[in-house]
Structure 1
Amino acid sequence: FAWLRHFKKSMEIPTPIYNHVSNYDVYEPAEDTFLLLDALEKEQDYLKALRPTIALEVGCGSGVVSAFLATILGDSTAYFCTDRNQSAASCCVETSAANHVTINPVLTDLSTSFLPRFEHSVDVLIFNPPYVVTPPHEVEVNGITASWAGGVDGRQVMNRFFKQVPNLLSNRGVLYLVVIRENKPDEIREIFNEMGFLCEVVMTRRSGPEFLMILKFVRK
């Protein structure tokens, strides 16, 4: 009944228009996407009080999450997103136009192109990573498989990204991360604890066999 939840939610912050997404070779919005939207809506007062200057979504796919965030925060924030898929960048441009927001897609691996230029400058960082546990070699496959194949523990892509977070986030910055139980969230919490971050579970939801979680990280 995800559609019913989002019909109700649309009375407050509308779900972004994304009927064009099927025209692109990208990960289409699914239950993990909608859980992330719900979490951002829940966090909207916190995010507005943060008064972010720069927001960055890593692995943007359709661009729906960035469009939703831009609807919450308005024009005072600069919105960037990354993907290694050209089709995702093109889709994000159309999503941006369809929802009357401005999002700047960049073709890059994770956030590599933003360092060191955006070092300690990102106030809102979002990542819905490839988290499905798969054989390690599937992580290197191009195309739509790259949007969900996470390799060992579903963490091969995540673990590379974690190393970039301390250099990206501003002192007041926040990271929202989508994980499932198989990703060993307690281990993730400890990794970030050792890097100087606090962890909070913002929202959870079961979707078929998956138990989804949105983790929030801020500096201690």
Structure 2
Amino acid sequence: MLSTPIVKDLDIDKVYEPAEDTFLFLDMFEQLHEEQYFTNLNSNSTANFVLEIGSGSGLITTFIAEHNIIPRSYNLVSDINIVALRTTLNTFNDNTENTNCDALRCNLADSIRLNQINYLLFNPPYVPSEEIPSIPDADDISNTAWVDLALVGGNDGMLITNNLLNSLNNILAINGEAYILFCARNKHPQVVEKFKSKWTNFQVNCVIQRKCGWEELAIYRFKKMS
């Protein structure tokens, strides 16, 4: 079993605390690592740009880098929460000697050049809610809305995820892959069918699915073929 990175001095009032959804990502990547999925896939590649959107504590990106799960990777993380970005970089530096990690304060992948990302990771705000709080000013780090923004996703929990899905074709390089988490209340089978009918150049499959307490979570792979 691969070791889990240590997250030090996490301020849970400002940054999402790693939970079942986070650890489902870690279990998935450990499983793919054991299968040598990324090694076989990237035997001839020179570099891989890996972007985690909404990195929070940085546990997922750090886990991938610490154990060299994706070969020849350069790691990028984005978040609208500056405290989360600082936490991510601290977690990364505390657990790995890898220096290939940059943090960007932006919405989703808005600051990334088009069609450059080889692997995208997204544990979105997926909890259904009547409303989503407004984004505080960047320097308003004491605002409790930051944690709410990491959790809630509108009426069906899909507001933020739909924004990403609509942009995915412009974000990923050809043969690029996105790993996106859903809960059962997101009605992910219907979401996937709608996506595939619109974007016929993608292959989509469920990589891992698990009941976690009162939630049922699933991570899908969206692979851009052309």
Give the alignment's TM-score, normalised by structure 2: 0.85
Residue 28 of structure 1: how far off its partner (Å): 1.0
Query: In structure 1, what is the equivalent of residue 54 of structure 2?
Result: 59
Query: In structure 2, what is the equivalent of residue 89 of structure 1?
Result: 85
Say how many residue pairs are matched. Answer: 205
Which residue, 200, 204, 208 being the options, matches 2:213?
A: 208
Identity of aligned residues (%): 31
CA distance in 1 between counterparts of 2:212 and 2:156 reads 18
**What are the Cα deviations for residues 104-142 of structure 1, in whole angstroms up to 9, with x where unaligned?**
11100111111xx2x22211100000000101x225353
Q: CA RMSD in A?
A: 1.8
Query: In structure 1, what is the equivalent of residue 125 of structure 2?
Result: 130
Give the residue type in structure 2 aligned to 1:98. D
2:24 is aligned with 1:29: no
Distance of aligned partners of 1:24 and 1:53 in 2 relative to their CA distance in 1, 3 Å threshold: farther
Which residue, 104, 107, 111 being the options, matches 2:105?
A: 107
Which residue, 30, 42, 46 being the options, matches 1:41?
A: 30
CA distance in 1 between counterparts of 2:153 and 2:7 reads 25
1:4-15 → structure 2 map (5 Å cutoff) = 9=1, 13-15=2-4
CA distance in 2 between counterparts of 1:39 and 1:20 reads 26
Unaligned runs of 5+ in 2: 136-144
**Structure 1 residue runs of 4 or more that deviate by more than 6 Å after TM superposition:** none
Distance of aligned partners of 1:80 and 1:165 in 2 relative to their CA distance in 1, 3 Å threshold: same
Give the residue type in structure 1 aligned to 2:176. G
Distance of aligned partners of 1:192 and 1:25 in 2 relative to their CA distance in 1, 3 Å threshold: same
2:161 is aligned with 1:158: yes
Unaligned runs of 5+ in 1: 1-8
Distance of aligned partners of 1:203 and 1:139 in 2 relative to their CA distance in 1, 3 Å threshold: farther
Contact 1:60-1:88 at 8 Å conserved across structures: yes
Contact 2:38-2:71 at 8 Å conserved across structures: no
Residue 23 of structure 1: how far off its partner (Å): 6.8
Bigger mean CA deviation after superposition, 166-175 or 74-83: 74-83
Residue 96 of structure 1: how far off its partner (Å): 1.1
Whose helix fraction is larger, Structure 1's or Structure 2's?
1
